[in-house]
Structure 1
C-alpha cells in the first residue's frame, strides 16, 4: 500500500494493551467504533504523534511516521495529519481566520497567502461573515465548522475526526453531519472517524472497524457489519438481539438448551440474530405446536421511538419492541412474567468463524 494509511498500533500501558491494525486508502473514510475504554482515543493519539508506539508502525503515503524498531519518529507538527476534536480546541485568542491560517503559516505560506486560503475555507463552510470573530463569539456549530476548516486547510494526507459531532445539539449535529459528508467526499486524503455513534459512522464512513479491549473484533462495510454482528456490543450498536449456539439444518440449539427453528440453514457453531421488532409478547402460554416460544420476565421498559422497548430476562434474554396499543394488556411492570416468541423467518443464522 503506497498511498493512504497503513498502521499497526501497539501501545502498552499498565493494565491495558492496544494492538490494532488499520488501513485507510487515500479518499476513503473509515470509522473506528467501540465502547468507552476500547482504545479509540489511544489509537487516534498514536496516529497524531501524541502517543509514541510501543511497537508496530504508522506509515502514511509510504513514509514512516513512527516505527520503534528503527527508532523512526516524526513529531506531530511535521506530520501531514489534521485533527478535528470533539470540543474543537480552537485558539481562544485568535480570530476564526487566524485559527484557520495557523496551519498553512506553519507550512511556510506567507501571512497574506495563508489568510486568503483561510478565508476561502471559511467561505466553504458557510462562515464568510464570521472571519473576524473569536471562538467565544461563535456558537458550538460555528466553532466546529472553523475546526473542520482549520484541519482541511493544511491539505492533510490523513484527517482524524475525534467524535466531531458529540458536543453538538441534535439539530446542529444534523446540519454539520451533512456538511461534513460533503467535505469528506471531496477530500483526497485518508480519513479516520473515531466515534461511538452508529449513525455518524453509517452516514460518513465507507468502512467500519470495531474495537473492544484494545483489539479489532469486527470490520467491513456497513451492510456486512450491521447484518452480521459478532459481539454483544456490535449487536446493541445496530439494534439486534444476538445469541450463540450450534446449528443443525434449520435448528439452532443455544447454550441454555433452548432450540430455535430458523428459515436459514446452518451447520456448526453459529450466531443467531433478530431485531426487537420481531419479538412478540403475550401474557399467557401459547398453544401446543407454536415454535420459538419461551417464558420470560420483564426486566425493564423504556420509550424507543414510537414503541416501548422491553428488556426480558429468563432462558433467552432479549429486547422486544411493543406498540403502545398492545402494552396495556400485557401489564409491563418490572418482574411481570410474559411469554415471548419470534418467527423463524425473522432469525438470521451465520457461522461464528469468519469466512
Structure 2
C-alpha cells in the first residue's frame, strides 16, 4: 500500500497531491504538460525530496520532512521504468536485469538466474546476451520492465513507458504490459499523457492539473463524467457548467440544454460531438437547445469531420463529409447548433464525498 501527501515547492510551482494506491492496483496519473506528473513520480522514487507532507510504503515512512527523515532511492523497494528506459549500454540484457538483484545482495549466480527468469517472462529469453544498442524499441522496453520487476518491488513506477514506441509496437507492447501489471502483486503508478495507455492499463485515473488533483475515479466514471475542460477534451466531450432544474440545464441567458438526467442545482452537462446537428438557419419554433455559432475550424477525425464552433459557448461537432459538402462548410460561416437532449448527460458539479 502506497500512502502519500506529496508537497513539493519548485519556485513558482507547487505540487500538492494526495495519493493512495493499494497492493495490486494500477493508478494512472494523467494531466497536461507541466501539471506535476513527473515531479510526483520523482518524489515517489526518492529523486525529489518532499517540501512537506509525507510518503509511506506498507506503513514504513520513506519521506517525512517534518522529522527530517528521507530514505534514499537505492534503499526503497521501488522499481522504475523511465521514459527513455536508461538501460546500461555496456551491459547485456541479462546483466541489466541482474543489476538490481545484485545491489540487493544476491550473489552473481542467483541474480543472473533471476534475471534469466524475468527475460523469459517478458519473451526475451533468446536476447540475454544482446546489449541495448542491438535491441528494438519494444525489446528495450521489455528489458527495462524486467529490470524493474526483478527487484520484486513493493511499488512499480512507469514514466511514459510506451511513449518512445511506434504505433504498431506500442499496441503489441501495451498488451504485454497489461498482462505483467495484472500479475504484479505490488502497487503501480503509471505516469502518462496518453488516454489510451491509461484506459488500457489502469484500474483508477488520477487527473492532475497545476499541481493539484482535479479528478480521481475509475476509468468509466472519469471518461463519462469529466470535471475539467482538459478531461473533457481528452475523452472527446463537450463540457459546460450551469444551473440544473429537472431535465434542463441553463448555461446562460436564453441558452438551455435538455438532458437525459434529472438534476437540481449547480451541475455539469456533457454531450459527444456526434450529438450536435448543424443547420444553415434557425430550426424554427421554440427550440431552447439551439444557438447561433461561427465556424472556426474543420479537421478530419476518422471517417467524420470535426467542426469547431464559437458562440455563446464553444462547441465541437462531428459531421459526415456528405453533410459538410451540403452545408459548404468554411471558416467564418454562420450556423445554428442543435443538440440532441437524449445524448446529453448531467451530473452535480460537486463530487460525492
**TM norm structure 1:** 0.97
- Give distance in 1, aligned partners of 2:240 and 2:32: 19
Count matched residues.
Answer: 352
Q: 1:319 aligns with which of 292, 307, 316?
A: 316
Equivalent position of 1:86 in the other structure: 83
CA contact 1:246–1:253 (8 Å) conserved in 2: yes
Which consecutive segments of 4 or more residues in structure 1 shift more than 4 A?
Answer: none
Q: Is the 8 Å Cα contact of residues 254 and 288 (structure 2) preserved in structure 1? A: no
The partner residue of 2:32 within 22, 30, 35 is 35
Deviation by residue 1:73-111 (Cα, 9 ceiling, x = unmatched): 110001000000111111111111110000000001111
Displacement after TM superposition at 1:171 (Å): 0.5
Q: Give the CA RMSD over aligned residues.
A: 1.0
In 2, distance between residues paired with 1:98 and 1:192? 25
| 1:150 has 2:136 as partner | no
Tell me the residue number matched to 2:289: 292
Aligned: 1:282 with 2:244: no
- Which structure 2 residues correspond to residues 171-320 of structure 1 after superposition, within 5 A? 171-255=168-252, 257-320=254-317
Higher mean C-alpha deviation, range 279-288 or range 150-159: 279-288
Q: Secondary structure at the match of 1:311?
A: strand
Q: Deviations over 1:109-146 (max 9, x none)?
A: 11111111111111111111111111111111110010
Residue 340 of structure 2 is aligned to residue 343 of structure 1: yes
**1 CA distance for matches of 2:120 and 2:351?**
47
Rounded to whole Å, the distance in 1 between the matches of 2:247 and 2:88 is 61
CA distance in 1, matches of 2:152, 2:253: 55
Task: Answer with 72-81 or 334-343: which moved more.
Answer: 334-343
Structure 2 unaligned residues grouped into runs of 5+: none
- For structure 1, list consecutive stretches of 5 or more residues without a partner in the other structure: none
Deviation of 1:291 after TM superposition, in Å, equals: 4.0
Aligned counterpart, 1:107: 104
Q: Distance in 1 between matches of 2:325 and 2:23?
A: 54
Q: Specify the alignment match of 1:72 in structure 2.
A: 69
Any conservation in 1 of the 2:255–2:290 contact (CA below 8 Å)? no
Q: Is 1:13 the equivalent of 2:15?
A: no
d(CA) in 2 for partners of 1:290 and 1:14? 51
